[in-house]
C-alpha cells in the first residue's frame, strides 16, 4: 500500500477527489494532510475522512527538516500539492526527488510563478486574449511552477468567459485528471 501526503491551502476540492479516488483501493491511500492555513477547508475534509492533519509552522517549514522527518516517518511515497500556495523549500524537494507533484490552473509555462494562483491566473489568461487554458500537472522543483510537465489538458475559452466561468472549466479538468495522474505515478 502506497502512502500519499497532500499539502493544501484552501477548500480542498482536489484533495477530496484524490481521497475519493483511492477510497477502498489496494494501491494507495491518503495518510496525511498538511496545510499552512488554520482556517482552510481541507481540515474539515481531513476530520470527516479521519485522516491526520497538521497545521504547518512557517519557520519550521522553511528552516529545518521537521517536515521531511514527518513525511519519512509516515512512509510517504508521493507528496501532492493540491492548491498549496507556498514554494516548497529545496531540502524537501531534494528529500523527495520526483515524488512531489503540483497542479496549476493554466498551461505552463504561461501564467505561472509567484502570485499566480486561483482567480489571478484566470484573470491573466483572459486579459492576454488566450483562446484556450487548462491544467498542468508537473513535478515540483525549487522554483514556482517550473518542474517537468507530467500532463497538460486544455479547455476552450469563449468570448463570454469570465474568470469565474473559466475557473469552473479548469476545475472540471483538475478533478478528472489529478487523481488519475496520482494513480499512474504510484504504479510506475
Domains and CATH numbers, the chain: 2-186 (3.40.50.170)
Residue-wise pLDDT for 132-160, tens only, equals 999 999 999 999 999 999 999 999 999 99
Give the separation between CA 66 and CA 18, rounded to whole angstroms.
25
3-state DSSP assignment of residue 183 = helix
Whether residue 123 has pLDDT greater than 90? yes
**In the predicted structure, residue 70 carries a pLDDT above the cut 90:** yes
- Residue 180 confidence (pLDDT): 98
Mean pLDDT of 11-23: 97
83 belongs to an annotated ligand binding site: no
Considering the chain, what percentage of its residues have pLDDT values greater than 90? 98
Rounded CA separation 112/157 (Å):
18
- Give the sign of the dihedral formed by CA 23, CA 21, CA 139, CA 35: negative
Active site residues: 104
Q: How far is residue 43's CA from residue 164's CA, in Å, rounded to a whole number?
A: 25
pLDDT for res 184: 97
Q: Is a pLDDT exceeding 90 seen at residue 67? A: yes
Q: Is 75 annotated as a binding residue?
A: no
58 annotated as a binding-site residue: yes
Contact criterion met (CB below 8 Å) for 147 and 141: yes
Is 133 known as a binding-site position?
Answer: no
When the pLDDT of each residue in the chain is averaged and rounded to a whole number, the result is: 97
Nearest to 53 by CA among 40, 64, 62, 65: 40
Residue 28 scores a pLDDT above 90:
yes
Residue 102 annotated as lining a ligand binding site: yes
71-107 confidence digits (pLDDT tens): 999 999 999 999 999 999 999 999 999 999 999 999 9
State residue 35's pLDDT score: 97
Residue-wise pLDDT for 42-54, tens only, equals 999 999 999 999 9
Which pLDDT value is given to residue 43? Answer: 97
What cell does 140 get?
515540483
pLDDT score of 188 more than 90: no
Amino acid at each position: 500500500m502506497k502512502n500519499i501526503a497532500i499539502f493544501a491551502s484552501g477548500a480542498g476540492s482536489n484533495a477530496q477527489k484524490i481521497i475519493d479516488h483511492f477510497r477502498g483501493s489496494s494501491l494507495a491511500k491518503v495518510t496525511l494532510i498538511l496545510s499552512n492555513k488554520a482556517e482552510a477547508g481541507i481540515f474539515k475534509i481531513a476530520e470527516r475522512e479521519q485522516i491526520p492533519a497538521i497545521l504547518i509552522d512557517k519557520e519550521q517549514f522553511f528552516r529545518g527538516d521537521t517536515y521531511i522527518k514527518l513525511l519519512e516517518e509516515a512512509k510517504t511515497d508521493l507528496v501532492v500539492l493540491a492548491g498549496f500556495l507556498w514554494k516548497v523549500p529545496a531540502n524537501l524537494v531534494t528529500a523527495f526527488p520526483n515524488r512531489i507533484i503540483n497542479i496549476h490552473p493554466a498551461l505552463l509555462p504561461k501564467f505561472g510563478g509567484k502570485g499566480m494562483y486561483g482567480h489571478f491566473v484566470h484573470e491573466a489568461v483572459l486579459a492576454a486574449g488566450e483562446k484556450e487554458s487548462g491544467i498542468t500537472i508537473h513535478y515540483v522543483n525549487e522554483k514556482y511552477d517550473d518542474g517537468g510537465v507530467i500532463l497538460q489538458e486544455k479547455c476552450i475559452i469563449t468570448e463570454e468567459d469570465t474568470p469565474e466561468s473559466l475557473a469552473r472549466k479548469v476545475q472540471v479538468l483538475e478533478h478528472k485528471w489529478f487523481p488519475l495522474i496520482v494513480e499512474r505515478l504510484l504504479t510506475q
